[in-house]
């Protein structure tokens, strides 16, 4: 199968599979660019292919929408995973210096700049601050979230630098009485003296967990707010959405992301492809995502292609060479002959199938004889598309090829897929070609999570789903409400109170631990003050709801995991960053470590996020102190 290959800068070529431990932090700094969210494209990437591993048939797999797993003509690849390990996984590396992107210091809210000035003006800008980045509610009515976007955050922090034109623009936009020294300060600013602790990308997370803990001078940590939120919010939202689609349909089906045309902007489409793959999808139609992130790409033809033929006379090329003998065969005549044979088998009128559609299928099969997958709903699935497809598939067999399958893009997908499967079996029996019973059925019409749940309940015969609009725009909830709150300044904890209790922050620098039960499932998460000892396996502790004093429980974990990793300090990335594919595998493990009732579709059980008793007491004391007492009159 394909060899994973990375080419950092110009000097080293790595080959073979990587494990996390093989990365150094220097590699990590380079490799972070691989999955860059907003890549520019007119860069000059150091771009290489391993030509030794590109035989034609292996190559062609990356082009299949889906492959039949029983092909006698191709290299045997019986599992979905192996099918997806193809040429398109070769990873293209771009170094930071070569990239340009909209992700840069000015991609922020104006008030960050005005606060920066006010801090600077009052000489408060060097005070050490800690900010927590977290959300308050899981999306989509669920009880878990996949954390994504970290690599992009680290890249943004690493490359943070105002451009001279940025400074010019700010100087012209802000009041003229701002001191020149402030703009000088901004122009030289970098993020080398801040620290970022974070949970690893792909971790299952919950409301109120600080996903990032950002420490450093208050001016700098404040300046990062908007961009970090932008990078985490949508990435985590769409990755979670993808994971939910995956949970709804099970591990054995193929899920393909087809959302580019309906995404919220071009880069929204690119981010969607990347993070849907992270969340458990198998491939994308987005070619640029394939090139930039090594995601398998898939796709065949559209209705327009079918419409482009009116009749068989439109065919300029009518023949096809036999795959094995090379003998030229009268392919179009064979198709017509088999269509007529199919009439009584399928109980349809061969003369009533649309001959423009048949011509389109024939020309497509001539172009891609190893990858024939036909869109069959342009005129009528059962009366036209299906018989035309089967006629071409049977003729392909006559030329020593195997068709792949068909795609349904309208109508009742459960019913049609079962009807089509039944016809596949009938034809397989009639022609004595068992593989035809297992042709792939791809479905792709406005599918959302509810559709998948409903299809699973009704029964269906679909093998692959192409999912677009509702997946990438997150129809059910198009935004995740991550926030970024000051929790400590100049060694003094800060609380942000609110009349809305869920908006109150948990003050102070904190650590974050996941406690596991004896069955290996996650029991609850615990936030501790930075100076408290780590919870210990086998030691009973009191965990408390952060806001409600009556809600508390003793817990004796079988295992404890510190969820934080120090990712950025001393101006460099401190921890290895896994590949996108590794993050994808980790995310799946993470979901598997949750109890089933946390991830079920209907009324899932909330997962417990708690604080230690000491943090509870501390927080509530500060809270009381901050609320003014009114006077009744």
What is the rounded CA–CA span in Å between residue 175 and residue 27? Answer: 44
Q: Which stretch binds a second copy (CB under 8 A): 195-203, 392-400, 571-579, 624-632?
A: 624-632
Residues between 176 and 195 with contacts to a second copy, criterion CB under 8 A: 176-177
Between 25 and 498, name the residue whose CB sits nearer to a second copy: 498
96 binds a second copy (CB under 8 A): no
Q: Which stretch binds a second copy (CB under 8 A): 284-292, 513-521, 569-577, 592-600?
A: 284-292
287 binds a second copy (CB under 8 A): yes
Among 56, 76, 432, 550, binds a second copy (CB under 8 A): 56
103 binds a second copy (CB under 8 A): yes
258 binds a second copy (CB under 8 A): yes
Between 333 and 597, name the residue whose CB sits nearer to a second copy: 333
Are the C-beta atoms of 77 and 61 separated by less than 8 Å? yes
Shortest distance (Å) from residue 406 CB to a second copy: 14
454 binds a second copy (CB under 8 A): no
Q: Which stretch binds a second copy (CB under 8 A): 257-265, 419-427, 447-455, 554-562?
A: 257-265
Q: Which stretch binds a second copy (CB under 8 A): 74-82, 377-385, 556-564, 604-612?
A: 377-385
To the nearest 10°, report the CA torsion of 175, 176, 182, 187.
90
Draw the binding track, 484-523, toward a second copy (x: CB under 8 A; -: no contact).
Answer: xxx--x--x-xxxxxxx--x--------------------
Among 13, 429, 479, 530, binds a second copy (CB under 8 A): 479
122 binds a second copy (CB under 8 A): yes
Q: At what angle do helices 580-592 and 225-249 cross, to 10 degrees?
A: 60
What is the rounded CA–CA span in Å between residue 328 and residue 167? Answer: 68
Among 469, 556, 558, 593, binds a second copy (CB under 8 A): 469
Among 3, 25, 26, 121, binds a second copy (CB under 8 A): 121
Between 251 and 629, name the residue whose CB sits nearer to a second copy: 629
Indicate the pairing of strand 522-529 with strand 559-562.
Answer: unpaired
The CA distances from residue 492 to 219, 486, 488, 533, in Å, are 16, 11, 5, 20
N residues, the chain: 633
Between 203 and 286, name the residue whose CB sits nearer to a second copy: 286
Cβ-count burial 27-36 (b if 16+ within 10 Å, e if not): bbbbbbbbbb
What is the rounded CA–CA span in Å between residue 194 and residue 152? Answer: 16
59 binds a second copy (CB under 8 A): yes
Q: Which stretch binds a second copy (CB under 8 A): 102-110, 191-199, 455-463, 605-613?
A: 102-110
Shortest distance (Å) from residue 185 CB to a second copy: 14
Q: At what angle do helices 413-431 and 331-346 cross, to 10 degrees?
A: 110
Among 73, 74, 82, 106, binds a second copy (CB under 8 A): 106
Q: Which stretch binds a second copy (CB under 8 A): 5-13, 104-112, 434-442, 561-569?
A: 104-112
Using the structure block, give the residue that is written with the tokens 């792909």: 202
Are the C-beta atoms of 486 and 494 separated by less than 8 Å? yes
481 binds a second copy (CB under 8 A): yes
Using the structure block, give the residue that is written with the tokens 């105002």: 162
Gyration radius of the chain over CA positions? 28
Among 18, 117, 281, 439, binds a second copy (CB under 8 A): 117
The CA distances from residue 184 to 178, 180, 401, in Å, are 11, 6, 68
Shortest distance (Å) from residue 210 CB to a second copy: 14
> Within 10 Å of residue 516's Cβ, how many Cβ atoms?
17
Indicate the pairing of strand 572-573 with strand 565-569.
Answer: antiparallel
Query: Which one, of 404, 400, 418, 409, lies nearest residue 380 by Cα?
Result: 409
> Is the Cα dihedral 335, 337, 342, 347 positive or negative?
positive
Among 29, 77, 203, 378, binds a second copy (CB under 8 A): 378
Shortest distance (Å) from residue 271 CB to a second copy: 4
Among 15, 168, 450, 502, binds a second copy (CB under 8 A): 168
440 binds a second copy (CB under 8 A): no
Between 396 and 486, name the residue whose CB sits nearer to a second copy: 486
Shortest distance (Å) from residue 530 CB to a second copy: 18
Shortest distance (Å) from residue 19 CB to a second copy: 25
> Within 10 Å of residue 559's Cβ, how many Cβ atoms?
14
What is the rounded CA–CA span in Å between residue 314 and residue 250? Answer: 43
What is the rounded CA–CA span in Å between residue 91 and residue 88? Answer: 8
Draw the binding track, 342-361, toward a second copy (x: CB under 8 A; -: no contact).
Answer: -----xxx--xxx-------
Q: Which stretch binds a second copy (CB under 8 A): 20-28, 200-208, 394-402, 475-483?
A: 475-483
Among 3, 13, 26, 118, binds a second copy (CB under 8 A): 118
Residues between 26 and 55 with contacts to a second copy, criterion CB under 8 A: 37-45, 47, 49, 54-55
Between 191 and 504, name the residue whose CB sits nearer to a second copy: 504
Among 107, 189, 345, 594, binds a second copy (CB under 8 A): 107
CA angle 319, 323, 327 (to 5 degrees): 55
Residues between 291 and 320 with contacts to a second copy, criterion CB under 8 A: 291, 297-305, 307-308, 310, 314-317
629 binds a second copy (CB under 8 A): yes
The CA distances from residue 265 to 36, 40, 412, 472, in Å, are 17, 15, 30, 11
Residues between 402 and 431 with contacts to a second copy, criterion CB under 8 A: 410-411
Using the structure block, give the residue that is written with the tokens 């299949």: 64
Residues between 209 and 238 with contacts to a second copy, criterion CB under 8 A: 218, 222, 225-227, 229-231, 233-235, 237-238
> Is the Cα dihedral 31, 206, 215, 531 positive or negative?
negative
Are the C-beta atoms of 541 and 554 separated by less than 8 Å? yes
Q: Across the beta sheet with 565-569, what order do the strands follow?
A: 492-493, 483-489, 128-134, 212-217, 195-198, 565-569, 572-573
Are the C-beta atoms of 522 and 560 separated by less than 8 Å? no
């Amino acid at each position: 199968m394909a060899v994973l290959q990375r080419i950092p800068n110009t000097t080293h070529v790595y080959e073979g599979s990587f494990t996390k431990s093989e990365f150094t932090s220097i590699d990590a700094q380079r490799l972070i660019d691989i999955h860059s969210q907003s890549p520019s494209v007119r860069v000059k990437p150091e771009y290489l292919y391993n030509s030794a591993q590109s035989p034609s048939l292996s190559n062609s797999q990356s082009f299949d929408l889906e492959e039949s797993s029983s092909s006698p003509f191709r290299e045997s690849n019986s599992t979905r995973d192996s099918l997806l390990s193809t040429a398109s996984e070769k990873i293209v590396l771009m170094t930071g210096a070569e990239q340009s992107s909209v992700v840069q210091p000015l991609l922020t809210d104006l008030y960050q700049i005005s606060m920066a000035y006010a801090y600077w003006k009052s000489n408060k800008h060097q005070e050490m601050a800690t900010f927590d980045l977290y959300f308050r509610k899981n999306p989509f009515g669920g009880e878990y979230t996949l954390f994504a976007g970290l690599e992009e955050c680290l890249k943004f922090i690493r490359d943070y630098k105002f451009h001279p034109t940025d400074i010019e623009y700010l100087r012209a936009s802000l009041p003229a009485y701002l001191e020149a020294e402030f703009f000088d300060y901004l122009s030289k600013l970098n993020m080398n003296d801040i620290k970022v602790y974070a949970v690893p990308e792909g971790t299952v997370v919950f409301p109120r967990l600080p996903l990032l803990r950002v420490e450093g001078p208050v001016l700098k940590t404040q300046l990062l707010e908007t961009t970090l939120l932008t990078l985490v919010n949508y990435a985590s939202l769409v990755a979670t959405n993808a994971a939910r689609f995956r949970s709804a349909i099970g591990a054995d089906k193929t899920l393909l992301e087809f959302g580019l045309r309906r995404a919220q902007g071009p880069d929204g489409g690119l981010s969607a492809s990347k993070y849907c793959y992270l969340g458990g999808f198998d491939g994308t139609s987005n070619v640029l995502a394939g090139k930039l992130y090594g995601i398998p790409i898939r796709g065949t033809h559209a209705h327009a292609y079918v419409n482009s033929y009116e009749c068989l006379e439109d065919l300029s090329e009518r023949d096809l060479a036999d795959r094995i003998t090379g003998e030229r065969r009268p392919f179009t005549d064979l198709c017509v002959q088999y269509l007529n044979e199919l009439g009584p088998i399928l109980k349809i009128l061969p003369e009533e199938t649309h001959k423009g559609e048949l011509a389109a299928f024939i020309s497509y099969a001539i172009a891609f004889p190893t990858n024939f997958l036909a869109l069959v709903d342009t005129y009528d699935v059962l009366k036209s598309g299906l018989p035309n497809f089967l006629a071409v598939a049977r003729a392909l067999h006559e030329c020593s090829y195997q068709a792949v399958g068909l795609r349904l893009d309208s109508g009742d997908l459960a019913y049609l897929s079962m009807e089509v499967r039944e016809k596949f079996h009938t034809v397989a029996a009639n022609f004595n070609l068992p593989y035809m019973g297992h042709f792939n059925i791809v479905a792709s019409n406005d599918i959302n999570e509810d559709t998948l749940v409903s299809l699973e309940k009704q029964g269906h015969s679909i093998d692959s789903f192409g999912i677009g609009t509702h997946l990438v725009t997150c129809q059910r909830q198009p935004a995740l409400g991550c926030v970024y709150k000051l929790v400590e300044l100049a060694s003094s904890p800060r609380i942000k109170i609110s009349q809305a209790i869920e908006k109150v922050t948990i003050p102070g620098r904190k650590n974050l631990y996941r406690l596991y039960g004896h069955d290996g499932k996650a029991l609850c998460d615990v936030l501790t003050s930075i100076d408290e000892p780590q919870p210990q396996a086998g030691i009973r502790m009191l965990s408390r709801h952060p806001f409600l004093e009556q809600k508390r429980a003793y817990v004796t974990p079988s295992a404890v995991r510190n969820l934080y990793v120090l990712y950025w300090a001393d101006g460099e990335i401190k921890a290895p960053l896994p590949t996108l594919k590794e993050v994808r595998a980790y995310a799946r493990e993470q979901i598997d470590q949750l109890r089933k009732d946390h991830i079920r579709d209907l009324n899932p059980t909330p997962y417990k996020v708690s604080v230690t008793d000491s943090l509870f007491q501390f927080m509530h004391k500060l809270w009381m102190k901050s609320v003014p007492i009114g006077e009744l009159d």
